[in-house]
Structure 1
Amino acid sequence: MGAQLCSKADTSAPLEALRFHAEAKGAQVHLDAHECTARRRATFHDGIVFSQRPVAPGERVALRMLQQEGGWCGGLRVGFTRLDPAHVSAPSLPPFMCPDLEQQSPTWAAVLPEGCARAGDVVRFWVNRRGQLFAKVNAGRQFLLRKGVRMGAPLWAVMDVYGTTKAIEILDPASSLFPTAAPWVPSEEAVQEPEATPGRECAICFHHTANACLVPCGHTDFCSYCAWRVFRDTAKCPMCRWQIKAVAPAWSRPALRTGEGS
């Protein structure tokens, strides 16, 4: 990773407003002049960004969803890391936060439930002293994204402007511009990510619902997570061996091609 872990927080200086770190960012990320807006220029990955300073337990990281882009599966990922972005070599960042950055470093992240945040919504996320990662959308109730964040050392916020998420803005938590209406209330199904119904299981993990379409062959036998892993690792459809050009939602399935893959 070409990164250095920080073992001691600077507690003498007052907390400054959160911004995105100017240098530690994915290859497709463009930041505005104030380092408050992160936009992914192209493709669906290489959108990792960090906060410029450590985030205290219980401190809310507030993001406004500025723009979304159709044609992809999956969206914003959020979490915390012990990687000090001041010592992260940007070219060494992997294309995906989940699972690549998690596997390469002490990073704990989660995917926001499908459809929970749309353009204009504000997402707040934080970690408590028990290592639980929570999130909240607009004025809705908080929901648990994951457990097991290791406490006891400085943690930086890390975000992945991924898939359908095209641009985000980091906000001052005291901002009066936060929306107060139209909260998103997650169902137990969205938070718990239950097993798929019989007959709709992903052909790779056999757990999540098959909801992704491989382009151009049109096979829809995989969940979006497994489809992206196959696309990244081999770019070959496991069913027909056609070369994968893109991954799309299952409802956008093209006409099925036949024959051997190239």
Structure 2
Amino acid sequence: MSRLQERSRLSSLPLHISGNCTRSISPRTTSISHLHRMPLETSGSTGCGWACLGALTFDSYALGDQVTLSQDRRKASRSKTTFRDGLVFSSRPVRVNERVRLRVENHVAGWQGALRVGFTTVPPRDRSLPLPQMAIPNLTDIPGHWAKPIQEKDCHAGSELEFWVSRGGTLYLRIMGFRKVKALEGVNLGQPRWAMVDVYGQTTSVLLLGSEQRVLMGIRRSCPAPKHLPLQNMADHSSVNHANEEQTKMVCENGKISLRGRLEKCASDSEASKHCVVCMAAEASVTLLCGHRCLCLQCSFRVIREFGTCPLCRRPL
């Protein structure tokens, strides 16, 4: 088969990308040895396609004790009554040269130090809770963690920055669009890396603006973040507060029954019950994606965080 015939044949085939996206191969870019160098979409659209890096939000499981996430998990806020316990991590691994973009939303005077950013090879869902109080030195003293403090003068409300890891394992920073700065070296490229952000000191709130990866033929960008948590009726509750878990400890009958045991026991109860199947006291006000209304608001935080499935039908949330 001639090269021209081969290109004609390939031009009619769809190229399957991750997710539900497909893209037809252009005849001028169908050389089999160069498929990985196909032109990328460079428009402002971040819809799922060849140029899409996937959604990037903060992980809702591994949160510092004083952190509150917005409903779309893009904004992380720390209590102003303390300077620490502000750790958050990205919801997925970040690629080499994928630049994570942040904006400082709020800051307060009175504390020393400010935002810290970096990467880790430890998956957020594999971490034990509660998290350490600070990224530096609590986590950076542990293998698999790299972080750099940002100067206070660069962390006023409205300041924007981006950070990424190069192919040489170097952590770079760029603040307010100025030239990049080499922060540190030696980041492990042999394992997936999650972005790590410590909302520390004077920094009390940051917004995750997304990410982008500059490649030879264009720019790849992260998807827009989902607008809502995987709950259907949380319009009256604009945030997920890690501290709400403390209010769910009463469901354990004086500590004699674990939450898992309670869920297993209640899964066989009537699905039409008006009471939460965990605490058996408050009204079941939260409707899950599967359609079951079986949890009160307080218990739903812990169930989603620790199990991630409906207690009745076990459908993932």
Paired with 1:105 and 1:21, the residues of 2 have a C-alpha distance of 21
SS at match of 2:61: strand
* Aligned equivalent of 1:34: 72
Matched, 1:89 2:135: no
Q: Any residues of structure 2 matched to 1:147-166 within 5 Å, and which?
A: 147-166=185-204
Please report how far the alpha carbon of residue 84 of structure 1 lies from its aligned counterpart in structure 2 after TM superposition.
0.3
Instruction: Provide the secondary structure at the position in 2 that maps to 1:99.
Output: helix
Count of equivalent residues:
164
The Cα offsets for residues 191-216 of structure 1, whole Å up to 9 and x where unpaired, read as xxxxxxxxxxxxxxxxxxxxxxxxxx
- Identify which of 100, 122, 137 aligns with 2:160: 122
SS at match of 2:72: coil
Correspondences of 1:134-149 after superposition (within 5 Å):
134-149=172-187
* TM-score, L = length of structure 1: 0.59
Is 1:15 aligned to residue 23 of structure 2? no
Counterpart in the other structure of 2:92? 53
**Conserved in 1, the CA contact under 8 Å of 2:169 and 2:186?**
yes
Letter in 2 for 1:136: R
Ranges in structure 2 where 5+ consecutive residues have no aligned partner = 1-16, 20-51, 213-220, 222-317
1:87 positional shift: 1.7
The whole-number CA distance in structure 2 between the counterparts of 1:141 and 1:118 is 19
Indicate which of 34, 39, 62 corresponds to 2:101.
62
Distance 1:46 1:52 in 2: 18
Q: 1:133 aligns with which of 168, 171, 174?
A: 171
Kept in 1: contact 2:103–2:158 (CA 8 A): yes
**Offset of 1:12 from its aligned partner?**
5.2
Q: Which has the higher helix share?
A: 2
**C-alpha contact (below 8 Å) 2:108/2:204 kept by paired residues:** yes
- The equivalent residue for 1:79 is 118
Letter of the aligned partner of 2:99 in structure 1?
R
Distance in 1, matches of 2:60 and 2:143, equals: 20
The answer to whether the 8 A contact 1:20-1:49 is kept is yes
Give 1:60 shift: 0.6
Report deviation, 1:139.
Answer: 1.9
Query: Counterpart in 1 of 2:63?
Result: 25
Shift of 1:167: 0.2
Rounded to whole Å, the distance in 2 between the matches of 1:46 and 1:168 is 14
Q: Which amino acid aligns with 1:69?
A: V
Do the aligned partners of 1:127 and 1:133 also contact (CA within 8 Å) in 2? yes
- Structure 1 portions without partners, runs of 5+: 1-10, 176-262
CA distance in 2, matches of 1:105, 1:40: 26
- Matched to 2:92, the amino acid is R
Give runs of aligned pairs for residues 184-195 of structure 1, distance below 5 A.
Answer: none
Larger radius of gyration: 2
Deviation at 1:105, TM superposition (A): 4.0
Equivalent residues of 1:79, 1:159 under 8 A apart: yes
TM-score in terms of structure 2 length: 0.49
**1:116 Cα deviation from its structure 2 partner:** 2.1
Residue pair 1:112, 1:145 contacting (<8 A) in 2 also: no
- What secondary structure does 2:62 align onto? strand
